[in-house]
Amino acid sequence: MIYTAIDNFYLTDEQLDNSPSRKDGIDEATETSLRIYGCDLIQESGILLRLPQAVMATGQVLFHRFYCKKSFARFDAKIVAASCVWLASKLEESPRKARHVIIVFHRMECRREDLPIEHLDVFSKKFSDLKAELSRTERHILKEMGFVCHVEHPHKFISNYLATLETPPESRQEAWNLANDSLRTTLCVRFKSEVVACGVVYAAARRFQVSLPENPPWWKAFDADKSGIDEVCRVLAHLYSLPKARYIPVSKDGTLFSFSSKSVDSQPQSTPKELSQSSPSANNDASVPKAVSAPGNSDSGGSKGSMIKAAIDKVKDSKKSDDESKSMHTDGDTREEPSQKFKSEHRTEASGDRGKDRDRDRERERDRDRDRERDRDRTKSRDRDRGRDSDREREREDSERDRDKIKERSHRFKDRLKDPGHSEKSRHHSTRDRDYHSSSYSSREKDRHRHY
């Protein structure tokens, strides 16, 4: 039967002593240092990513739970810490992109290793490898957790406990800081959140010399045990006595995982040079005692010819050793050259890809401008055609009007030709009118003469 309760991930001291890291030959001090180092990375990265404290606390608990089932020799602490931050941000509903997480861890490693801080190219092979490793490690974490990643932190109990015990406000901040520091230890996988909260409250009260009720004992009201409280205080005291944690490479495969490209590339390239530089001195040192021992043999009874032959043989051996050292130099250089060529080719390919993308974007913009111009020309041509059509219609109307007028005139003319009498009558009336006007004019002149 599979139990999927919320608080089912608690281990005993024997199980922690027989952890997978111990089985792979990693001692207790190294495992403790790596746990503290990973939790420091999670805390610092959460601050740089502007994540709430709940996300960082969840990431640290997931980090401890994962290494209770897997070894530090199998999974590197750096990439597991980054995956825990990425997964915890999604669990606590404050998601961050994988690109931001990788860039932040790259910057932190450059600071911790005293390397020059350089921008991590998002289009490089190093970034693609880191992203693939980040998602792969997240799947491993979910698989080991059985996809049950609920975490209950002691922080939510601290304020209630301190308010019930009526402690001063200074102890609240101290208890909160102790609860954050307790996440760097294995207390989260050994005790329940209530016990850790009671231990933190007890340590903060002892720090500010605040008396707590002991009759009846105050911890019994909060479902805690005195032995658990004492163990929490002891672990916190031991944590503050340790020096600053540093990264210790314990990988069995021999491949040192790193977020910075320089720290990875510098190690394999330096080994052939060191070997080539150390080989001539070793050969020379080995040849010196042989040359010194030759005269001793000759003095004891060897002839001069044997001495000369031995000297010639030794000179040949030294020449061979020099040639071998030179070949080692050339091999190292030839090994370095392909890696440099590969890097330069990769850079040129990346720059070429960027140039191609830019050219494609420019061509797309040009095509869009051309399409817009074509649309404008089409609209203009349509407007012109409409104007032409209106002009044509006007011309047609004018021509039709002219035709109608011509037809009317032709009809009138035909009517006149058909009725000649009507034309004569019209002429007769016109002559009569003329005579009348002329007679009236003559009578007016006569009246004038009479008046004068």
Closest CA to 146 of 62, 85, 88, 79: 62
Phi and psi based region of residue 117 (left: phi greater than 0; alpha: psi -120 to 50; beta: remaining): beta
| Per-residue pLDDT reduced to its tens digit, 235-294 | 999 999 999 888 988 877 654 567 766 554 444 433 333 334 443 333 334 333 333 333
Do 13-145 and 155-241 come out as alike in CATH topology?
yes
Residue 38 contacts residue 80 (beta carbons within 8 Å): yes
For the domain made up of 13-145, give the CATH fold: Cyclin A; domain 1 (1.10.472)
pLDDT of residue 438: 52
Sequence ranges of the domains in the chain: 13-145, 155-241, 265-342
**DSSP 8-state symbol, 191:** S
Q: What percent of the chain has pLDDT over 70?
A: 69
| R_g (Cα) of the chain, nearest Å | 51
Residue 118 contacts residue 154 (beta carbons within 8 Å): no
First to last CA, the chain: 154
Q: How confident is the model at residue 356 (pLDDT cuts 50, 70, 90)?
A: confident
Closest CA to 63 of 9, 127, 124: 9
Planar angle of CA 240, 246, 251, nearest 5 degrees:
130
Classify domain 155-241 by CATH architecture.
Answer: Orthogonal Bundle (1.10)
pLDDT of residue 88: 95
pLDDT over threshold 50, residue 109: yes
Cβ burial, residue 415 (10 Å; 0-12/13-18/19+): exposed
Q: Say which amino acid occupies 225.
A: D
pLDDT of residue 376: 82
Q: Count of CB atoms within 10 A of residue 63's CB?
A: 26
Q: Give the rounded distance of the alpha carbon of 198 from its chain centre.
A: 40
